[in-house]
Structure 1
C-alpha cells in the first residue's frame, strides 16, 4: 500500500527557488528530468546530505595532512595514509599539480609494491627492480630472493642480487636493503629463485641495566640467556648497517663478541667516530 504523503507549501522568492534547484542539480536529486526541491528537503531531513558551510581545507591544513600521509606510510600505516589521502582529494581545494601529485600517491604507494612483491615471492619469480637511488638516478637490480622488513618505522625491501655490495662484509655482500616507497618498477626476470637472502649469526653481550631490560626480538634472536650478570644474545643478521644502528643506540651496554670481521668493522666505525671528535686513537 503506497505510503501517504503530506503536502507542504513553501513560499520563497524566485531566486531562492533557483538556488535550491541548483543545489538539487549539483547533488543529483531529480524528479523526472528536473531538479527536485522536494527531494532535496527530504534528503536534508533524513541527514543524507550536509547543510551549512561546506567543509574545506586551507593551504596550511593541506600541507600538514600531506606530511601526515608521509609519516603514516613510513610507519607502515598504509591504510590510514590512504584514508587521509582520500580526505585531501575530496575536501581540499587543490591546485592541479598538487591534485595530480596526490593521485600518484594513491596509485603508487608502498602498499602497492608490497602486494606486488608478495605475489612474486609466492610464485618464486625473480624480478628486475628499478630503484630511485638518487634525485636524478635510477638504479637497477635483479632480485632472486626478497623479504619485506620494518626498520625504524619504515618499510624496506631486502633482496638477494648477483651484484656485490662493497659496503657489506663478504657473507652479506649480495644483500641489498631498499626503501619500498622508492621503487620505480618491478618486472619479471629469467633467473633462478633463491629461498632466502643471506644471514649470519652475531653474538652480543648486553651489560648492566640493559641485561635485565633488553626486549627480545623473536624474528631476529636465535638465542637469549643470562650468564651471571651478562645477557648473551645471538642475532640472525642480514645487514650490518642496521645491526650497527642498534648497537650504537645501546651504547656502552652492548658489545659485539663475534664474528671477528663484524667486530672489527664496528671497531673501525668507532675509531672514525672518535677522530671526528679529536680523540686520539693509538695505531
Structure 2
C-alpha cells in the first residue's frame, strides 16, 4: 500500500489517504489531464479539493436513449441551418464528451458540425440583404457539379430544414420539366452548396416564379388548417375551406397534401393535380391495389 499525505493549505490540516500504488498513479494521471499541479508534479490533493468544491464532476457519463439522441441531432441541424454555429458546436461537444456514444455516432456528429452549411447560409443572406445577384456552385445528389446565376433568392423552411430558393438563368439541367412555368426556380440544400460568389447584373424584383394552386379542405381540416405565408386567400364556404396558394415548388406541396389524406384535394392547376394523381397511382401499384 502507498500512503499519500494530502496537505490542505487553507485549513492547515493533513489528511492521510491509503491507496494501492496503481490507484495513486491513476489519480495523478487524472490530475495531469486536468492540469492540476503542485509545482511541476500532478497534485492528487488538488484534485480532491477540486472535487470537494464541485469544480469537477465525478461518476459515469450520462447516457441517452435513441429518441433523445435523435432530438439533439435535430437541434444541432436546426442550429447550424439558423447560423448558430457556436451553439451547435456546444451541443455537439456535450454529446461527444458526455453522452457515452458509439463510435459511428461520434464521428457523424463531428462531421455534421464541420460542414460548410453555416458559411453558405451567411454568404447567401448577405447577398439577399444587398439584393446582389450571385453565382452558386452546387453539387446535386448525383454528385454532379452545377453552376447557377441567382437573380433572386430567399430562404425557406421545409420539413425541419432550411433551403435556399433561387430564380436562376440556367435551365439546361432540367431536361423534361414537369412545370415549365417554374423552370427557373431551384430549391437548394445548404450543405450541398460548394461556393457563393457575387456577380454583376440586376436583382429580379418579381421574385420566384409561382403557380397559383387551389386547394379544398374537408372535415376536420376545415378548422384545423393553419394558414401559410404564401396563401393568397383562405375562406370557408359551406363545409369546405378553400385556399389559394402561391407555390414555387410543387414537390413540397404534394408531400404536404399526402399528409392530409382524404381531407384535402388539389383542385387546380391540372398539371399539379395530375402529378399528385400519378403519385397515388404509383403508390397503389406498389401495394398491388
TM over 0.5: yes
Asked if residue 197 in structure 1 is aligned to residue 199 in structure 2, the reply is no
2:236 alignment partner, SS class: strand
Match of 1:138 among 142, 145, 163: 145
Which secondary structure does the structure 1 equivalent of 2:16 belong to?
coil
Q: Does 1:5 align with 2:16?
A: no
5+ long unaligned stretches in structure 1: 279-283
> Following TM superposition, by how much is the alpha carbon of 1:209 offset from its aligned partner in structure 2, in angstroms?
3.7
Stretches of 4+ moved more than 6 A in 1? Answer: 61-66, 97-100
**Shift of residue 226, structure 1, vs aligned partner:** 1.7
Shift of residue 215, structure 1, vs aligned partner = 2.2
Q: Give the CA RMSD over aligned residues.
A: 3.6
1:250 aligns with 2:252: no
Number of aligned residue pairs? 266
**Alignment partners' CA distance in 2, 1:276 and 1:38:** 69
**Partner residue, 1:115:** 122
Whole-angstrom distance in 1 between the partners of 2:65 and 2:192: 23
TM superposition score normalised by structure 2 = 0.74
2-structure distance, mates of 1:247, 1:117: 30
Please state whether the residue corresponding to 1:40 is helix, strand or coil: helix
Give yes or no for the alignment of 1:211 onto 2:217: no
2:132 to 119, 125, 134: 125
Distance in 1 of aligned mates of 2:141 and 2:73: 19
> Pick from 151, 157, 164: which aligns with 2:158?
151
Cα distance in 1 for partners of 2:59, 2:135 equals: 53
Q: Distance in 2 between matches of 1:124 and 1:51?
A: 54
The offset of 1:254, in angstroms, is: 3.1
Q: How far off is 1:106 after superposition? A: 1.4
Residues 270 and 9 of structure 1, relative CA distance in 2, 3 Å threshold:
closer
Q: What is the DSSP-based 3-state SS (H/G/I as helix, E as strand, rest coil) of the residue aligned with 2:120?
A: helix
- When residues 140 and 64 of structure 1 are mapped into structure 2, their CA distance, relative to the original with a 3 A threshold, is farther
Equivalent residue for 2:198? 188
Partner of 2:6: none
Aligned equivalents of 2:272 and 2:101: distance in 1?
Answer: 53
For 1:47-69, what per-residue CA distance to the aligned partner results, in whole angstroms no more than 9, with x for missing partners?
A: 1113345x387xxx799887656
Gapped regions of structure 2 (runs ≥ 5): 1-8
Distance (whole Å) between structure 1 residues aligned to residue 195 and residue 108 of structure 2: 18
Report if the CA contact (8 A) 2:254-2:276 is conserved.
Answer: no
Give the TM-score normalised by the residue count of structure 1. Answer: 0.75
CA contact (8 A) 1:73 1:110 kept: no
Q: Distance in 1 between matches of 2:230 and 2:214?
A: 12
Q: Deviations over 1:243-264 (max 9, x none)?
A: 2333344344434344xxx324
